[in-house]
Structure 1
């Protein structure tokens, strides 16, 4: 089946897995079925829309050893392409474990699914197993929302997550790529990351390093951020004050220069200035100057 075309977002995991369940049942009841088949591992391509990017190598090796000893208990799910190859829909860990075990064939359920449904299936299949890290999950939410033009509320009904959970997860994409990589690896918790949203990327990096090196709690990080913001506000106020003082000093110096050029005596004290005019013309001239400022 050729992948392509557009369709509306499905009605959740049950609908998506319906074809798979039917194929599996058919394979058990009909030996001539095109349900479960042995397929060459070399003919199976990874799903380009697979949301999970990080795999635990230790657990992968354990699965590989188990498959070598006991065989594959649950077939993978693939879709057949026009070129005679297959695209993986579900079961990437099982496929990777087969490759790790140097096995040439794998049991697979062949089903029909179009490109958008393939993306949705890949996301929901992984959400169901809770295999995605929060950044992978956030990118998948964003992809589904953009492709299907749906709201957070509508998506929540499709993936069986609360709207608030989806919104909070998506907000993690506002973090710098530096922080996101530590979230993906599990070295930084979502709780720590959330309090850094909106901060300057350089400050995020400094906080991230400090959290990891000093094993700070979320509460400790919140206090640090509060101190940073208060320090910035104080700095901004002082900078504005300095700018104002600098401007006032410039105005006063210009005024004193005018008096000097007109040979008008002026005495500057701490909080006052005393001017001695030579004539009424001097007074009128200085008043005119001040009115222009």
Structure 2
């Protein structure tokens, strides 16, 4: 039986809009509102469904310094679970930065939200606020599509992102795991990722090592990938039998390539052939001195 479609909730924007309005009202009220609380930081638990895994340490430090100087300008948002404990809904960067600043308590808005909506709200918050890296964003899209059994077009309408952007972002999940890890670490941009998708797993490894080792721009990477594809096509036409019968250890070749790139040599790998480019005699001499690599 096909999985029935479930509708996405009102979304974080609508909920936070109402909460924000109540907060503004409380600032001008004669009596204290129970909606805005001063909570011990240690009593606020993180959202277990938070899709964001990576936080920029330097940006957190800047926010922490700002909080020390000016205080927290915008409260975090929490809800209460069935055990009476406070769970963070929005504002993880503010919470982390406040901890870094040595704050013992933090202002928090208590929202009337059911705990079973936490995953959806966490996903939508980060998508709408554009706080996820490309892989985290793709995983969030995929989770919403699977959870609610909706199409790319329907998701587009719900989260106000273009269908093309959603589809292209989801394609990043077809990349090899090591490429995805580099994207999450910020060593590759989404621009690099888009052109790497067209490559085979082996070609992705070759191109990625070259891009990172030589710090290539997206445009330079496009030229590299065109060269890889062209050369592979020529080699396959000239030596189809030799390529098919090769028993060369590709991982060993990749390790040698990585070492060469670390040593700042211009090198690439094509169909079990390792190419090193020299522009001056001194480079050849330097290469011969460093040729003993630990494979």
- The answer to whether the superposition gives a TM-score over 0.5 is yes
Greater displacement, 204-213 / 12-21: 12-21
In structure 2, what is the Cα distance between the partners aligned to 1:207 and 1:79?
46
Greater RCO structure (CA 8 Å; 6+ sep)? 1
In 2 relative to 1, CA 23–121 (structure 1 residues): closer, same or farther, beyond 3 Å? farther
Is contact 1:23-1:110 (8 Å) kept? no
Partner of 2:142: 142
In structure 2, what is the Cα distance between the partners aligned to 1:232 and 1:116?
51
Greater displacement, 136-145 / 233-242: 233-242
Partner of 2:86: 86
What secondary structure sits across from 1:195 in the alignment?
helix
Q: CA deviation at 1:141?
A: 0.8
Is contact 1:27-1:33 (8 Å) kept? yes
In 2 relative to 1, CA 235–30 (structure 1 residues): closer, same or farther, beyond 3 Å? farther
What secondary structure sits across from 2:88 in the alignment?
strand
1:229 pairs with 2:246: no
Is contact 1:46-1:92 (8 Å) kept? yes
In structure 1, what is the Cα distance between the partners aligned to 2:84 and 2:117?
20
In structure 2, what is the Cα distance between the partners aligned to 1:163 and 1:171?
12
In 2 relative to 1, CA 220–60 (structure 1 residues): closer, same or farther, beyond 3 Å? closer
What secondary structure sits across from 1:38 in the alignment?
strand
1:54 pairs with 2:54: yes
In structure 1, what is the Cα distance between the partners aligned to 2:166 and 2:6?
22
Is contact 1:152-1:166 (8 Å) kept? yes
The C-alpha deviation readout for 1:203-262, integer Å capped at 9, x for no partner, is 2122112112223243443343334334444555567678xxxxxxxxxxxxxxxxxxxx
Q: CA deviation at 1:59?
A: 1.9
In structure 2, what is the Cα distance between the partners aligned to 1:46 and 1:225?
42
Can you give the 5+ residue segments of structure 1 that lack an aligned partner in the other structure?
Answer: 1-5, 243-293
Partner of 1:259: none
Is contact 2:79-2:110 (8 Å) kept? yes
Partner of 1:286: none
In structure 2, what is the Cα distance between the partners aligned to 1:59 and 1:220?
29
In structure 2, what is the Cα distance between the partners aligned to 1:221 and 1:165?
22
In structure 2, what is the Cα distance between the partners aligned to 1:63 and 1:233?
51
1:199 pairs with 2:199: yes
Is contact 1:41-1:95 (8 Å) kept? yes
In 2 relative to 1, CA 203–116 (structure 1 residues): closer, same or farther, beyond 3 Å? farther
Is contact 2:36-2:107 (8 Å) kept? yes
What secondary structure sits across from 2:79 in the alignment?
strand
Q: CA deviation at 1:75?
A: 0.5
Can you give the 5+ residue segments of structure 2 that lack an aligned partner in the other structure?
Answer: 243-295
Structure with larger Rg: 1
Is contact 2:81-2:115 (8 Å) kept? no
In structure 2, what is the Cα distance between the partners aligned to 1:153 and 1:11?
18
Q: CA deviation at 1:101?
A: 2.0
In structure 1, what is the Cα distance between the partners aligned to 2:237 and 2:64?
62
Greater displacement, 20-29 / 33-42: 20-29
Is contact 2:89-2:118 (8 Å) kept? yes
